[in-house]
Structure 1
């Protein structure tokens, strides 16, 4: 019988623990500055561990940054469960965005419910309907939006900056923990008892929709389980293009 040697939540060493207060202070200041500079900043939380860290800071400091999440209709039960859990923990109302029902039905009738396995174009169209269009609605009227992306996550994010300009939406865009390492994120979670997705305990280091995400082996890239049937250079849903 084979034993699956899967990815595991990284062990936080003493050096990381010692550096965490300074990193946390820096993150707090970044978020304060954003909330001060912009009157209607909105944070797109995928409910990933990085996003839960940012949510914790926003809620703890009482910052004027609206938090929304995308309920695509294909989330794992463990991911969906984080929505009410987060709201109860922090006493905040997450804005839950859902895809257009007619668009979903048309895709399913035209191509099949799981047609995204057949080609990159069909997968991107599914992402457009379930993620991009709801996100576009979520940031309409905002003057800035935030993500939980990190440079270390994938080859497509290696040059990620802290601040950029979203030319499509014509607003500022921020990646507040772009320079954090994976172990930094988990150090913060442990220090502040942040609620996280139960799938992390099941070897899922990066979690998207249920049919497009699988566990990752020890030593693999942390996004290897996302759209695993595609080339690594196409592994983005289009939200950050």
Structure 2
């Protein structure tokens, strides 16, 4: 079955049915089913979870397009891992860059690192460097595959396997939703999956270099992201409606 002509309400119904079905499948099965639903796009940040998904896509030779948001502010280690992952699993990873005109306009208004000064400026930066490129990455897609896990943070604890993304009008598939970090590490070891060396230096969640720090003992996996903001539910808007992500007390996935 494909989702190309399904309406929003119909996609929401399908998501509920698929969510239950995904719970009975292993990772290759979840990804294979995702590829059968229509044009599927996996967006990777090259973090350890996303490396597991990329490995499974490559090893199973699945028809899922792999894309990364090359924001212009990524760690050198992350950039190097893109090429290594392509070579290791026979993938072609599409790089989606921000528009230079958007970057120039942002810098003119806020300064290059203005995101440290206010939540508004930080969300404006994420909008330019991540959300607009994501929209291009998902053009024509009916299925969006992610590496979200419930145990990454309290705000992601209710992440389903499949959900209807009303903002983008597609099915969002989270095949690792029920995986623990121990299971992720075991998969990496078993299949010799290349991972970002920053993980071993205290960075369980890795985004743009200026916006990511190593976590401290006892902190959640995502505590190092936008650490200077007080709100514990901070997100960039990729996995929540952008307006909701901008609100200090908004709920997020």
TM-score clears 0.5: yes
Q: Is the 8 A contact 1:155 1:232 kept in 2?
A: no
Matches within 5 A, 1:61-140: 61-140=60-139
SS of structure 2 residue aligned to 1:173:
strand
Cα pair distance change 1:216/1:199, threshold 3 Å: same
Q: Is the 8 A contact 2:161 2:174 kept in 1?
A: yes
Give unmatched runs, 5+ long, in structure 2. Answer: 1-22, 241-253
Higher RCO (C-alpha under 8 Å, 6+ residues apart): 1
Q: Which moved more, 1:49-58 or 1:84-93?
A: 84-93
Q: 1:48 & 1:82 partners in 2: Cα distance?
A: 10
Match of 2:199 in 1: 200
CA deviation string 1:72-111 (max 9, x = no partner): 0000101111111111111221010000110001101111
Cα distance in 2, alignment partners of residues 179 and 158 from structure 1? 9
Deviations 1:107-138 (A, max 9, x none): 01111011111111110110010000000001
2:162 counterpart of 1:167: no
In the alignment, the residues of structure 1 paired with residue 231 and residue 153 of structure 2 have an alpha-carbon distance, to the nearest angstrom, of 8
Residue number in structure 2 paired with 1:238: 237
Residue 125 of structure 2 aligns to a residue whose secondary structure is helix
- What is the deviation of 1:218? 2.1
CA distance in 1, matches of 2:145, 2:67: 10
Whether 1:48 and 2:47 are equivalent positions in the alignment is: yes
Q: Is the CA contact 1:155–1:233 (under 8 Å) kept in the aligned structure 2?
A: no
What is the CA distance between 1:234 and its match in structure 2? 3.7
TM-score of the aligned structures, taking structure 1 as reference length = 0.87
Which residue is 2:33 aligned to?
Answer: 33
Shift of 1:60: 0.4
SS of 1:172's equivalent? Answer: strand
Taking structure 2 as the reference length, the TM-score comes to 0.83
For these two proteins, the number of residue pairs brought into alignment is 217
Distance 2:133 2:73 in 1: 14
Distance 1:192 1:85 in 2: 15
Residues 131-150 of structure 1 mapped to structure 2, 5 A cutoff: 131-150=130-149
Q: CA deviation at 1:232?
A: 4.0
Q: CA deviation at 1:56?
A: 0.5
What secondary structure does 1:160 align onto? coil
Instruction: Map Cα deviations across residues 144-163 of structure 1 (whole Å, 9 max, x no partner).
Output: 11110111111221111110
Runs ≥4 residues deviating over 3 A: none
